[in-house]
Amino acid sequence: MATFIGFNTVNQYKKFTLTDLQLIQRDLLNFVNIRQGELVGRPDVGTKMWDLVFESQTPNTIEEAKAEMKRIISLDPRIHLVSVECEPQLNGILIELEIQAVPGQVTEFLRVFFDQQTRTASLI
């Protein structure tokens, strides 16, 4: 597997360098915490998930959430989406992703929770 190297200051105190899957996870979280159209001059960056979090959790909304996560994952050339599941929660949406780093055989399971109250996405 190729080594991806990046920089992170969120919850880091001395070691700011992230590599491989840690970097991919951090980049994914950074991306999903931006509402689509929120970044000045870059209307294509961000996600529509925050609009879906505050809608009633119907089967149609769940399918839209899955489609949005597939779109987000497809924007990152370092990873390939194996599967995506979506579960409505009491105060948000839980997305379960199975991703594979490209090129590689390692499969990683991620659980991303979109919280209505804090309006943040986090890995659980």
Q: What residue segments make up the domains of the chain, in order of their start?
A: 5-123
What is the distance between the alpha carbons of residues 64 and 52, in angstroms, rounded to a whole number? Answer: 8
Residue 23: φ, ψ to 5°:
-65, -40
Q: List the CATH code of the domain at 5-123.
A: 3.10.450.40
pTM: 0.79
Structure tokens at 75: 């924007």
Whole-number mean pLDDT of the chain? 83
The pLDDT value recorded for residue 101 is 81
The pLDDT value recorded for residue 67 is 94
Contacts of 44 by beta carbon, 8 Å cutoff, 6+ apart: 36
- What residues of the chain score a pLDDT lower than 50? 1
What is the distance between the alpha carbons of residues 91 and 94, in angstroms, rounded to a whole number? Answer: 10
The pLDDT value recorded for residue 37 is 83
